[in-house]
Amino acid sequence: MLNPEDLVLAEAERDVRELEQYLADQRIRVLDLHTSGRVDDEMKAREGLLLLADALVIARRRLRAEREAAVMSRPDTGGSRVEFAENLHRAELTVLERDSHIAE
C-alpha cells in the first residue's frame, strides 16, 4: 500500500497531466471556432483557455511543492536533500529561467 505522501504526489501529477490535456483540447476548440467564424463562441473559448492556463500554473506549483516535500521527508542517503530539491525546482523552469539561475 502506498503511503499518504505518495498518494498526494500521484494526485498532483495526475492533476497536471489532466490539465495539460484539457488545455490542448481547448486550444483545438478555439481554432475550430475561429475557422468557422463563430466569434462570440471563440471569445468564450479563449476565456476558458486562459482559466485553464492559470489552473495549470497552480497545479504545477503544487506538484513542485509536493515533490520538494517528498524529498525532504525521506531520510538523507548520503546526498544533499537540499541540492536534490533545488534540482527538482530547476526542472520546472523554462530554458531562460534556468540559464539566469546558472549565470548567478
Which of the two residues, 38 and 73, has the higher pLDDT score?
A: 38
> What is the model's pLDDT at position 59?
93
Q: How many helices (H) and strands (E) does the chain have?
A: 4, 0
- Specify burial of residue 28 (Cβ count, 10 A radius: 0-12, 13-18, 19+): exposed
In whole numbers, what is the pLDDT of the chain averaged over residues?
81
Nearest to 65 by CA among 88, 47, 81: 88
Largest CA distance in the chain: 61
| pTM for this predicted structure | 0.67
Residues in the chain: 104
Cα separation of 91 and 104, whole Å?
17
Helices (H), 74-94: 81-91
CB 23 within 8 A of CB 49: yes
pLDDT at 78 over 60: no
pLDDT in tens, 24-69: 999 999 999 999 999 999 999 999 999 999 999 999 999 998 888 8
